[in-house]
Structure 1
Amino acid sequence: MVRLVSLLIAVATLSACGTTRPTEDPRDLVVLVHGMGRTPLSMVPMGIGLRRAGYRVLNVGYDSGAPSVAEIAAGVGAEVKAALVEQPAPRVHFVGHSLGTVVIRWLLVHDPPEAAGRAVLLAPPNQGSHEADRWAGLVRWTFPPITELRTTGGTAVDLGAPPGVEVAVIAASRDGKVAVEETCLEGAAHAVVSSGHTFVMMRPRVIGMVRTFLAGEPLPGDSDTACADVLG
């Protein structure tokens, strides 16, 4: 009899283990996507700031030599799905820099996570970039996605704003690669900070602005009026 009871307990225990599912983390997940020719290291300060604010962070890397934005976005999307299978989150936010912002918009337009939250785009070529027009012919063999950042006929221009997602744009006044007017996006909150293109994502002020916006507050900082003419 004792052996039978022990056997039943063991079977019940194994059955329970077999049906255990990942528990949902009460924290929102923030997905970070770096820019062209960069690595996840460039987004580490942003990740540290967001973790200190209580978020889970997924800092995704990708190959800038991939054939297209769509292919990069598919890889990012797969990592996001895997992270959510391992540990579901109430909401999934996105923060990207430069080319990474186009990848984010592609993903949110074509294959968004069910719990998509807010998105912050840092120095984004939303209207394409004249610098991409200038250099695409020379560097497309190394960085093919640059052709999709041109001001006409490129993914960056054609995508538009992701539906159902609140978006904030933070432009850099001394960018040199993406003009402030080229960062404008229909329906997005917009602000300009004093920064160059390369390190805008590492600036403490910018990290603070991202934290505030992801928390559900309005985008802090001075709103820029340049977009009125661009989008009008």
Structure 2
Amino acid sequence: MNDDITILVHGFNRGRRDMAYLEAGLRRQGWHTRALNLPTLFGDMDDCVAAMSAQLNDIQGRYRRVHYVAHSLGGLITLNFIRETQPQNIGHCVFIATPHGGSHLAQIASWIPGYARIFKPVAELLPTGAYDNCHAESGLSLGVIVGCRNSGLLGKLFLSDQSDGRVEVASACAGAARETILLPFGHQEIHHRPETCAQVLAFLAQGRFSR
């Protein structure tokens, strides 16, 4: 673990503090970590990837392996970062509640005049399915954690019970993931739960979840 580092990537309209719970859990187990701060409210995907590259520029060649743990939109940003920079020392990746097939809530938001133009990351969250099989192309060792508790008013109004209140279960389940596990939490809480942290630690260490 001393030769590895884990990069934590937050989701839409959040910052590095949103990954603090997972970061603290990893550090207690001896993992080196770095939580990023990306422009996920007004910046487009290119802006987010550029910010990620700039914040990781100094770790090149310093670690044997670089792992990635991302929540929601952070998983899509991580995929684009890997595509564009093609790092050679990728370890394991864990994506939590990432909408690989898009989000119907994002689609509804995009119908509001001007919304997607102002909040540019919404374009990446539309239900196109563009990210579903890209893990196979890149050969990632990917574990996907999916929330399956529909919580919150928006989820109750617009999504089925097969969702986490923001992202549908089917969208979060990437077809090319090495392993997928469902946890009974909502989108906003799943990455702040000890059960999730335990599964992240298991996958980072062994390349598989704890059953």
Q: Which residue of 2 aligns with 1:105?
A: 79
TM-score, normalized by length of structure 1?
A: 0.77
Displacement of 1:26 in angstroms is: 3.5
Kindly name which structure, 1 or 2, has the bigger radius of gyration based on alpha carbons: 1
Q: Distance in 1 between matches of 2:193 and 2:66?
A: 23
For the pair 1:94 / 2:68, whether they are aligned, the reply is yes
Please list, as runs of the form range in 1=range in 2, the aligned pairs for 1:149-160 lying within 5 A after superposition. 149-152=125-128, 156=131, 160=134
Per-residue Cα deviation, 1:119-141 (whole angstroms, up to 9, x for no partner): 10000100111111111233324
* 5+ long unaligned stretches in structure 1: 1-24, 222-232
Name the aligned partner's letter for residue 195 of structure 1.
Answer: F
Please list, as runs of the form range in 1=range in 2, the aligned pairs for 1:108-147 lying within 5 A after superposition. 108-138=82-112, 139-147=115-123
TM-score, normalized by length of structure 2?
A: 0.84
Q: Which residue of 2 aligns with 1:12?
A: none
Q: Distance in 2 between matches of 1:70 and 1:170?
A: 25
Displacement of 1:150 in angstroms is: 0.7
Q: Distance in 1 between matches of 2:120 and 2:189?
A: 23
For the pair 1:187 / 2:163, whether they are aligned, the reply is no
Aligned-residue CA RMSD (Å): 1.9
Judge conservation of contact 1:27–1:55 (CA < 8 Å) in 2. Answer: no
* 5+ long unaligned stretches in structure 2: 150-163
> Deviation above 3 Å: which 4+ runs of structure 1?
154-157
Judge conservation of contact 2:9–2:35 (CA < 8 Å) in 1. Answer: yes
Judge conservation of contact 1:26–1:90 (CA < 8 Å) in 2. Answer: no
With 212-221 and 55-64 compared, the bigger mean Cα shift is at: 212-221
Displacement of 1:220 in angstroms is: 2.4
**How many pairs were matched up?**
193
Judge conservation of contact 1:66–1:72 (CA < 8 Å) in 2. Answer: no
Q: Which residue of 2 aligns with 1:170?
A: 145
